[in-house]
Amino acid sequence: MQLPPIIANWFAQRGWQVRDHQLAMIAAAAQGRHALLTAPTGAGKTLAGFLPTLADLATTAHDGLHTLYISPLKALAVDVQRNLINPITEMGLDITVETRTGDTPSDRKARQKVRPPQILLTTPESLAILLSAPEAATMMAGVRRVIIDEIHAFGTSKRGDQLSLCLARLQRLAPAMQRVGLSATIADPESWAGWLAPDADITQVEVVRAIGGAAPAIDILVIDDRIPWGGHNGRWAARAVMRRIEQARLAIVFVNTRAVAELVFRDLWAENDMALPIGIHHGSLAPEARRKVEAAMAAGKLRGIVATASLDLGLDWGDVDLVIQMGAPKGASRLLQRTGRANHRMDEASQCLIVPGNRFEYLEAFAARDAVAAGELDPDGFRAGALDVLAQHVVGCAAAGPFYPAALYDEVKSAAPYAGLTRAVFDEVLHYAATGGYALKAYERYQRLVVQPDGRMRLRSAALARQWRMNSGTIVEAVAMNIQFGSGKGRGGRRLGQIEEYFAGQLLVGDSFMFAGQVLEVTGFDGADVHVKLGRGNPKVPVYAGGRMPMTTRLAMRVRGLMNTPDRWPEMPADVREWLAIQARVSRLPGLDDVLVETFERDGRWYLVAYGFAGHPAHQTLGMLITQRMERAGLNPLGFVASDYAMACWSLDPVDDPRALFDPAVLEDELGAWLAASPFLRRAFREVAIIGGLIERTQPGVVKTGKAMSVSSDLIYDVLRRHEPGHLLLAAAWTDARGKLTDIDRLAALLERAHSQMTHVRLAHVSPLAVPSLLTIGRERVGESADSALLAEAEALIAEAMRVA
């Protein structure tokens, strides 16, 4: 394949070679094939995606939209400037490029529909809204290519479902369109090719792998050969972490949750003797606050930044030369992707430092490093497309123009997540979208979708299309309250960001909490606003729902492997070696594929610790299930605690036969009753009710009163459960709650394993492996009492555990 001279010269002038994967992408385009490129960071991935477009536009006149570029990020600007705008300018090409996101002014959006640019950069949400316009058919007819950047960020989420449906629609409007996916290094490119392809037909997709890239240098922080017993976010090492930041040009400190971000930032600040400029970035900060940090970072004004996943996919990481992971990495792919953000040059090793929070996390970090070295990544859990997303999509299609149900069904089925959708379920979704999907035919006369004489369905009114556009999208934030700095209306208080209503509900005037790296004190409440001033003293910490990822199954396997390979122990700190060795003597080490259960008495209570290695959500659900069964057996359970590695529960009476408690037989029935009444399902229902268009989103800054005030999703949930237990949205909420929140599949596998391969050890006292779990119990139970009592308790626990005789 020949590059057009204008492009070849550009490479030559910079002394660059066109890379093989870039040529392969051009070849695939020339053959009219879809393509998936997987490449390490720094491999010129985005440019490789655009090169065929530039080559085409450089040699052939094209009127109208040629290429759509879809990114998971709203902040597209910097990366695209470097990878697209600069090359175009330097090549002297006359190509129009524009962005379209929620922030684009409406007059430009309107103009884009009539006179689109040749390359349009957008997000899945904005694309969906664009496709709902009646002009979409004309605008999209000539589209030649669609490029999906960071495809791995989409595939297994509702955003991915939405994007996949939009791709199916685009393909119908522009049958010759080539789909191009760009991805970081992923475990299973063939599965992703299937996700990308029309009709999930991977033979239509050219899979291009960029090879090379230096192996990342991953280091695990150990100080004085010691790793703490408890904790899970690496805060103990703040001083050492700060010293590493001082030695780096720009360091990103990744943490696993937003709450931990606040704590770690405060710890680092306390150790920041050189007063280096460091920042904090997480999803609950106001967009302006986030943009400011991003801008400071891009301008080279920061030396360190504490961040959650909100920055993961952020922006140009050009100058970052060190990634620090506080706490366990939770997955090899995640570690590799985060590490890959450091250092944009492909042939230099990226530097990463993991700070384990406790000894299990040390093993996990060790295992993740092994996995990255072995190139073993975590497979992505593909799942069937969500029905609430489909319901939203169907109405969006109707907003663009009338459709034949049969034709739309075929189109939807060509999207990989919906390949298995039956016509019956599709019709159920149509019924829901048209009149709410109730058994009672109450809403026939208000129907949203009307059947025309020719059999096509259309939207009843233009007002409904506007309403749909205001409410579309698949990201639903928890109900939040604004943090307003300075009091009083109209006196120009500054908005710092948002906290979840759940947390705000626990705050009283005079309470203080951590936010955006500062201690804030509540001065008052006003509707959806929390007014604050700078505070001091001991803050509460914001609690954010979610954001906590379980350890992957593969990584868990590797952790078990390490425990069972004493040959590797000499590579570990003395602390960890001793911990494992004594565990092996006083109890047992978990095997490669068993479930170790320990029982022992302590202070008049009976403890049961099950090492399932199934991740926090599954263990959480296990704890609920086991204590429920203990209750029925009259064992007087008092509580339980879950981690990624184990579940520990305690009771007044001993468990003699744990095997019976782990019976997998009636799991579904027992969980059903519990889950239906749990906040998990209510939270899941709120999300599907918003995505599915049953209730409206709260529009920022709009406080509704009186008749327009929406009905709370909890009230609707209760009424539906009573009157329409088979309703589509209840089923959708179930599916979500089962997967994300409770991980029932992983729990079921755990129970099966426990049933066939349980090792039950009765102990005279607590074992070394049980200590991290029991320390968590201590912390939660004591709560309000002094730290010294906690310390004393921790000390006694550890002394007991390490007693060999």
Residues forming contacts to other proteins in the complex (CB under 8 A) are 435-438, 440, 442-443, 446, 448, 460, 463-464, 467, 502, 505-506, 508, 693-696, 706-707, 709, 711-712, 715-716, 719-720, 722-724, 727
CB of 783 to other proteins, least distance (A): 9
Nearer to other proteins among residue 492 and residue 706 (C-beta): 706
CB of 739 to other proteins, least distance (A): 25
Nearer to other proteins among residue 431 and residue 602 (C-beta): 431
Tell me the two tokens of residue 248. Answer: 């780096």
CB of 468 to other proteins, least distance (A): 9
Sheet holding 205-209, edge to edge: 97-100, 119-122, 67-70, 145-148, 178-183, 34-38, 205-209
CB of 719 to other proteins, least distance (A): 5
Nearer to other proteins among residue 509 and residue 791 (C-beta): 509
Question: Is residue 641 within 8 Å of 780, Cβ to Cβ?
Answer: yes
CB of 471 to other proteins, least distance (A): 9
Nearer to other proteins among residue 404 and residue 443 (C-beta): 443
- Dihedral sign, Cα of residue 149, residue 152, residue 155, residue 158: negative
CB of 559 to other proteins, least distance (A): 33
CB of 651 to other proteins, least distance (A): 23
DSSP string, 712-734: PHHHHHHHHHHH-TT-HHHHHHH
Q: Which of 555, 548, 216, 563 is closest to 359 using CA atoms?
A: 563
Question: Is residue 528 within 8 Å of 493, Cβ to Cβ?
Answer: no
706: Cβ contacts below 8 Å, ≥ 6 apart: none
Tell me the two tokens of residue 657. Answer: 């036969």
CB of 501 to other proteins, least distance (A): 8
Q: Which residue has the tokens 């059947």?
A: 451
Question: Is residue 49 within 8 Å of 178, Cβ to Cβ?
Answer: no
State how far the Cα of 6 lies from the Cα of 688, in Å rounded to an integer.
50
State how far the Cα of 167 lies from the Cα of 509, in Å rounded to an integer.
50
CB of 707 to other proteins, least distance (A): 6
Nearer to other proteins among residue 60 and residue 461 (C-beta): 461
CB of 447 to other proteins, least distance (A): 9
State how far the Cα of 508 lies from the Cα of 663, in Å rounded to an integer.
45
Q: Which of 239, 247, 310, 294 is closest to 269 using CA atoms?
A: 239
Nearer to other proteins among residue 525 and residue 569 (C-beta): 525
227: Cβ contacts below 8 Å, ≥ 6 apart: 356, 358, 359, 362, 573, 575, 576
CB of 391 to other proteins, least distance (A): 11
- 3-state SS assignment for residue 4: coil
Nearer to other proteins among residue 155 and residue 692 (C-beta): 692
Question: What value, to the nearest 5°, has the Cα angle with vertex 61 and ends 55 and 62?
Answer: 90
State how far the Cα of 514 lies from the Cα of 270, in Å rounded to an integer.
14
Q: In a 10 Å sphere around its CB, with 0-12 CB exposed, 13-18 middle and 19+ buried, how is residue 622 labelled?
A: buried
Give Cα 526 to chain centroid, integer Å.
Answer: 32
Nearer to other proteins among residue 708 and residue 805 (C-beta): 708
Q: Which of 469, 763, 464, 720 is closest to 609 using CA atoms?
A: 763
Nearer to other proteins among residue 359 and residue 727 (C-beta): 727
Nearer to other proteins among residue 501 and residue 653 (C-beta): 501
State how far the Cα of 124 lies from the Cα of 764, in Å rounded to an integer.
58
Q: How far is CA 404 from CA 413, 448, 457, 487, in A?
A: 14, 16, 6, 55
Nearer to other proteins among residue 275 and residue 709 (C-beta): 709
Nearer to other proteins among residue 383 and residue 431 (C-beta): 431
CB of 399 to other proteins, least distance (A): 11
Tell me the two tokens of residue 413. Answer: 């089925």
